Homo-oligomer: A and B are copies of this chain.
Amino acid sequence: MRILRINTRTQEYAFEELGEYAGLGGRALTSRVVNKEVPADCHALSAENKLVFASGVLACTNAANSGRVSVGAKSPLTGGIKESNSGGQFANQMGKMDLQAIILEDKPEDGSDFSNIFISKDEVKFSPAKEIVGMHNYPAQEKLQEEFGKKAVTCLCGPAGEHCMQAATIQFSDPEGLPTRSAGRGGMGAVLGSKKVKSIILDPEVKGKAVMGDEEGFKAARKEWTDILRSHPVTSEGLPAFGTAILVNIVNEAGALPTKNFRTGRFENAGKISGETLAETITKREGKVSHGCHTGCIIQCSQVYNDKNGKMLTTGFEYETIWGFGAHLLIDDLDLIATMDRTCDEIGMDTIEMASSLAMAMEGGLIAWGDGPAALEYLRKVGTGDPVGRILGNGAGFTAAAFGVDRIPTVKNQSMPAYDPRAVKGVGVTYATTPMGADHTAGYAVCQNVLKCGGDIDGHSKEGNVEVSKNLQIATAAVDSLGLCLFVAFAVLDDERGVPCMAKLVSGLLGSEYSVDDVVNLGIGALQDELDFNRRAGFTEKDDQLPRWFTEEALPPHNVKWDFTAKELQGAKV
């Protein structure tokens, strides 16, 4: 596997050996490169920042659910290191092209035009992106397909990224060629935009295949891996049938669905936006209940949601999005929420961050609580140059400051997702302590606190939650580094064969022994790089805590408060 370095100012490039980065992939690789090569105190939009795309260790294989891509850089949103994880076809195509990482360096002079970057087997070509600058992502992707072929595998900087908005995503193309999969969190789209890169296109004609060190060993492991995922009810039944939105009713029932900017844990209209309602609506309108975000996915938690006229409206319609534009804002119109999701994909915006931006705008009186049409109208202003769009597009902390709001649900300036940390304390510990800023995916203790999968730990009490978060943070970092979908964790946590099988997949690929300890150490190493970078960027344990109002306001219906001390929380860090 190789690394491709591209200088976005000089347009020079080089295909390099992995060298010191050998053995790393995905998040472990992006975090190592950023920690080693980016000055921790640089401005995230400056020439000194680097944007790293890495495929996972297993991306070059056909192991199930191994096609996630990691995008890393210093984050303009948090000021710390960021790994933002996405589905789509990019990582697998990188694998076929023998690319473990693509590193974008430097940036063009102020006032330069945007470029598209086409990457083929051994060559990189810049071309003017003028035609698609300012365009929404779906039509921009159509233009790219006209130019680079229907099967072109792409990522796009949307209008939000062009404007360097801190909530800007990078959108990756899915198996249907639509730009629907997001490296959502931490403003990676702004870093891409600052480098004046509108899109990267991977030549779909390159069809390399990994050489297995132990072909038979890999085959056996791959079979077992598929069996593990197919044997667990969450990965084989729950997620395919309802998507992640199955959580709406579950989390609401648990009293942990943050409603009206984290004022209560129950939304009275949750039924209208539940996974059950979603599945029913999709079926009625002849959409797809099950759909994969990348080739090789056997969990199929995605879906295709059609509008009232049966026309495709959105896909990859996640629980967190439905919560964010739903309960968080007191909106209960699923079609409107789907339109907001589509709008975020079009403009290239993180749905979680944008939902909290809108919540701050509601706190500040710009929009009335529950006014969905107004919220959508404001969302559409992002990436247009409109000043309200410039405010909202920089996320919740920024919007709060613009409107004088002090009740801000962020950690390290990143918005909390769809689980109230007072009622799901394990995920609260993750919000507080992950180097990423508030992020459920970094250590998803919803499993143990609510779903009772992989253990049973009370989400209302402190006991056991620091430990579970720490262990999950390590496991997650390993999963992200192998390039596996995080949802394999549901099965892996409950199946003794899980982690050993992950190790066996790598052993088969390498043709040498890769142990369970190696898997764990891959995760620990990624976290160590991330914590080291953040420390050098000026983060302290003061940054590893929730806002004070979570310790003061009790959350109905269970009237739980946040009660971890800063010192206790440090225990969750490697």
Of the listed stretches A16-24, A133-141, A395-403, A427-435, chain B binds A395-403
Of the listed stretches A214-222, A233-241, A447-455, A543-551, chain B binds A543-551
Chain B residues in 8 Å Cβ range of A48: 548
Give 3 closest A-B pairs by Cβ, nearest first: A164-B404, A538-B542, A387-B387
A194 within 8 A of B: yes
Q: Is the CB of B408 within 8 A of A390?
A: no
A456 within 8 A of B: no
Q: Is the interface of A mostly helix, strand, loop or mixed?
A: loop
25 contacts between A and B (CB under 8 A): A41-B542, A41-B545, A41-B548, A42-B548, A43-B406, A44-B406, A45-B404, A45-B405, A45-B406, A46-B548, A46-B549, A48-B548, A76-B401, A164-B403, A164-B404, A387-B387, A387-B390, A387-B391, A390-B391, A390-B402, A394-B401, A398-B398, A398-B401, A538-B540, A538-B542
Q: In the complex, how many angstroms separate the beta carbon of A183 from the nearest chain B beta carbon?
A: 19
Give the residue of B45, B165, B402, B408 whose beta carbon is less than 8 angstroms from that of A43: B408
Chain B residues in 8 Å Cβ range of A166: 401
> Beyond A43-B548, A548-B46, is A404–B538 a contact (Cβ under 8 Å)?
no
A82 within 8 A of B: no
Query: Using a CB–CB distance below 8 Å, which chain A residues touch chain B?
Result: 39, 41-46, 48, 76, 163-166, 190, 193-194, 386-388, 390-391, 394, 398, 401-406, 408, 536-538, 540, 542-543, 545, 547-549
Q: Give the nearest-CB partner of A392 in chain B.
A: B387
> Beyond A39-B548, A538-B542, is A46–B406 a contact (Cβ under 8 Å)?
yes
Q: In the complex, how many angstroms separate the beta carbon of A467 from the nearest chain B beta carbon?
A: 25
Q: In the complex, how many angstroms separate the beta carbon of A433 from the nearest chain B beta carbon?
A: 15
- Report which residue of A45, A48, A194, A408 has the largest number of chain B beta carbons within 10 angstroms of its beta carbon: A45
Q: In the complex, how many angstroms separate the beta carbon of A158 from the nearest chain B beta carbon?
A: 14
Q: Is the CB of B540 within 8 A of A43?
A: no
Chain B residues in 8 Å Cβ range of A46: 406, 548-549
Q: Give Cα distance in the complex from A41 to B542, angstroms.
A: 8
Chain B residues in 8 Å Cβ range of A398: 398, 401-402
Q: In the complex, how many angstroms separate the beta carbon of A47 from the nearest chain B beta carbon?
A: 9
Q: Give Cα distance in the complex from A406 to B191, angstroms.
A: 11
Q: Give Cα distance in the complex from A406 to B42, angstroms.
A: 10
Q: Is the CB of A190 within 8 A of B538?
A: no
Q: Give Cα distance in the complex from A166 to B404, angstroms.
A: 9
Q: Give Cα distance in the complex from A163 to B405, angstroms.
A: 10
